[in-house]
Structure 1
Amino acid sequence: LSSRSPSNFGNSHLADGVAKIKEYLEEQKNTPLKIAITGESGTGKSTFINAFRKVNDSDEGAAPTGVVETTTEVKEYPHPNLPNVTLWDLPGVGTPNFPADEYLKKVKFERFDFFIIISACRFKENDVKLALEIKRMKKKFYFLRSKVDFDLANEERKKKIDKQKTLNAIRENCIEVLRHQGIKDPQVFLVSCVELHLFDFLLLQETLERELPAHKRNAFVSALPNISEEIIKKKKDTYQAQIKYHALLCSGVAAVPIPGVSTAIDIAWVVTVVKEYVNGFRLDEKSLKSLADSSDVPYSELLSVMTSQLGAKTITPELILNLLSQFAMGSAAVMLCSGVGGVRDARFWCLGVAPSHETERSALLGGWAPRACCCWHRWGNTF
Structure 2
Amino acid sequence: MGGESSRDQSLKYSFFNEEEQKMLKSDYERGGVEQVARLIQNKLGDLDNTEFNIAVTGECGSGKSTFINTMRGLHSDEEGAAETGMVVTTMEPTPYRHPNFPSFYLWDLPGCGTNRFPMNKYPREMKFERYDFFLIISSIRVTVNDLKLVKEIKRLGKNFYFIRSKIDNDFRSLREGGRKFNEEELEKIRNYVVRNMQEAGIPSPRVFLISNFDLNQFDWKWLNDSLEDDLLNINKCVHILPNLNLKIVDKKREKLKIRVWMLASISEEVGAEAVPGVSLGCDIGILIGGIIHFRKCLGLEDASLQALANRAGKPVEDLKAVVNTPLLGEITPDLITKLQCSVAGSICGAGSSFLVTYKVLNDALDELTENARRVVKSILDLSTFFSEEELKQLKSN
TM over 0.5, shorter chain: yes
Residues 113 and 140, structure 1, Cα contact 8 Å, conserved in 2: yes
Cα drift, residue 108 of structure 1: 2.3
Residue of structure 2 aligned with 1:338, choices 328, 340, 347: 347
SS of 2:64's equivalent in the other structure is coil
Match of 1:142 in 2: 160
Q: Percent identity?
A: 23
* Residues 204-258 of structure 1: per-residue CA shift (max 9 Å, x gap): 6766888xxxxxx53255555544433432321221222133245468689999x
Pair 1:357–1:276, CA change in 2 (3 A): closer
Match of 1:219 in 2: 236
Greater displacement, 281-290 / 242-251: 242-251
Residue of structure 1 aligned with 2:361, choices 348, 356, 359: 348
Pair 1:294–1:37, CA change in 2 (3 A): same
CA distance in 2, matches of 1:221, 1:191: 28
Which amino acid in 2 is paired with 1:188?
R
Residues 336 and 346, structure 1, Cα contact 8 Å, conserved in 2: no
Ranges in structure 2 where 5+ consecutive residues have no aligned partner: 25-39, 173-180
Cα drift, residue 107 of structure 1: 0.7
SS of 1:38's equivalent in the other structure is strand
Greater displacement, 286-295 / 24-33: 24-33
CA distance in 1, matches of 2:139, 2:301: 34
CA distance in 1, matches of 2:108, 2:378: 25
Aligned-pair Cα RMSD in Å: 5.9
* Residues 169-203 of structure 1: per-residue CA shift (max 9 Å, x gap): 663354256568x5654612438898999425565
Match of 2:32 in 1: none
Which amino acid in 1 is paired with 2:258?
A
Which amino acid in 2 is paired with 1:37?
V
CA distance in 2, matches of 1:279, 1:117: 33
CA distance in 2, matches of 1:309, 1:119: 52
* Residues 1:41 and 2:64 aligned together: yes
CA distance in 2, matches of 1:92, 1:76: 15
* Residues 1:90 and 2:113 aligned together: no
Match of 2:27 in 1: none
Residues 229 and 367, structure 1, Cα contact 8 Å, conserved in 2: no
SS of 1:116's equivalent in the other structure is strand
Matches within 5 A, 1:297-308: 297-307=314-324
Which amino acid in 1 is paired with 2:304?
S
CA distance in 1, matches of 2:74, 2:326: 30
Pair 1:276–1:63, CA change in 2 (3 A): farther
Pair 1:41–1:339, CA change in 2 (3 A): farther
SS of 2:117's equivalent in the other structure is coil
TM-score, with structure 2 as normaliser: 0.58
Pair 1:6–1:65, CA change in 2 (3 A): farther
* Residues 1:190 and 2:208 aligned together: yes
* Residues 65-88 of structure 1: per-residue CA shift (max 9 Å, x gap): 5655875422457999998x8764
Pair 1:355–1:131, CA change in 2 (3 A): farther
Cα drift, residue 126 of structure 1: 4.0
SS of 1:190's equivalent in the other structure is strand
CA distance in 2, matches of 1:198, 1:220: 21
Pair 1:339–1:71, CA change in 2 (3 A): farther
* Residues 1:274 and 2:273 aligned together: no
SS of 1:338's equivalent in the other structure is coil
Pair 1:41–1:7, CA change in 2 (3 A): same
CA distance in 2, matches of 1:11, 1:119: 48
CA distance in 2, matches of 1:336, 1:77: 53
Residue of structure 2 aligned with 1:117, choices 136, 139, 159: 136
CA distance in 2, matches of 1:167, 1:300: 46
Matches within 5 A, 1:199-210: 199=222
Which amino acid in 2 is paired with 1:41?
K
Which amino acid in 2 is paired with 1:338?
I
Residue of structure 2 aligned with 1:172, choices 187, 191, 199: 191
Matches within 5 A, 1:1-383: 7-9=7-9, 19=21, 28-29=47-48, 35-39=54-58, 40-45=63-68, 64-65=81-82, 68=85, 71-76=90-95, 88-94=107-113, 98-112=117-131, 114-119=133-138, 123=142, 126-135=145-154, 137-145=155-163, 171-176=190-195, 185=203, 187-190=205-208, 198-199=221-222, 217-221=234-238, 223-224=240-241, 226-247=243-264, 249=266, 266-307=283-324, 309-310=326-327, 318-321=330-333, 323-324=335-336, 333-334=342-343, 337-338=346-347, 342-350=355-363, 352-353=364-365, 356-362=368-374, 364=376, 372=384
Which amino acid in 1 is paired with 2:160?
Y
Residues 337 and 346, structure 1, Cα contact 8 Å, conserved in 2: no
Residues 34 and 111, structure 1, Cα contact 8 Å, conserved in 2: yes
Pair 1:134–1:239, CA change in 2 (3 A): closer
Residues 131 and 141, structure 1, Cα contact 8 Å, conserved in 2: no
SS of 2:262's equivalent in the other structure is helix
Which amino acid in 1 is paired with 2:206?
V
Residues 298 and 368, structure 2, Cα contact 8 Å, conserved in 1: no
Residues 264 and 358, structure 2, Cα contact 8 Å, conserved in 1: yes
Residues 222 and 280, structure 1, Cα contact 8 Å, conserved in 2: yes
CA distance in 2, matches of 1:362, 1:167: 41
| Bigger Rg over Cα | 2
SS of 1:290's equivalent in the other structure is helix
Pick 1 or 2: higher relative contact order, CA cutoff 8 A, min separation 6.
Answer: 2
